[in-house]
Amino acid sequence: MSSHASEPSLARDDTAPVSLDLVPIELIAPRLKRVAAIAVLIGVVVGVIVGFFGPVWVGATVGAVIAVPTAASALLTLRRRIALQTGRIRSTGGLRSRHVDVTRAVAAELVVRSARVSEVSVRITDPDGSLAIPLALYTTDGGRELEILGLRRLADALTTSELVPAAAIASVLIEQLRAEARGAALPERPLFRAVELVRSEGRVPTTTLTDHEVAALLD
């Protein structure tokens, strides 16, 4: 579980982009590259074997069918990023990107996916589309939470919206920051309490918290 000593200073450059990647791509890049390399190797070996007993073009085709999908998927995952800059959140993944403008949000919701590894995310919708930003992943005794700077900047962005739900979610994120700063146990962290709330009511696999439930996370 990530923990932080203190909240970031308010004296910061709010115009600079900040990462909202819950799991930085740098942490999984070596594994993704290995997966791509192994897929290519298996494709080549199988292709050579098939080509040895039949036409070369058949071997090449079989090898490509085995290697390309897995290798391409792994390499495209390396491009996935979520970043916030001046109120706009951009998600880049694979061959396309999406974005939402928090200042023009028409809906803001906390979404919980309850499973062996549970996820809490905020879904923001503007007139042009919707985007979900993962905030935390939890198991029964640990997890990973969005880095403190990203969490703070996201809370700041939500406060610029005129939506009451956005302001409520911003308050939850600020309380989460405070809990992380003092090294609070999981049950004292609002995002983990969101998971516990959903689990206690047996709402699976994915549910959106009501405004009342979001407010209750601050109690």
Q: Nearest CA to 112 among 104, 101, 121, 100?
A: 121
pTM of structure: 0.74
Q: Could you give the percent of the chain with pLDDT greater than 90?
A: 41
**Tokens linked to 14:** 């709010």
DSSP reduced 3-state for 136:
strand
pLDDT at 207: 92
Q: What is the pLDDT of residue 55?
A: 82
Token look-up 């709010």 returns 14
Radius of gyration of the chain (CA): 21
- Does residue 60 come out as left (phi exceeding 0), alpha (psi in the -120 to 50 range) or beta? alpha
Q: Cα separation of 97 and 120, whole Å?
A: 22
**Residue ranges, the chain, pLDDT below 50:** 2-11
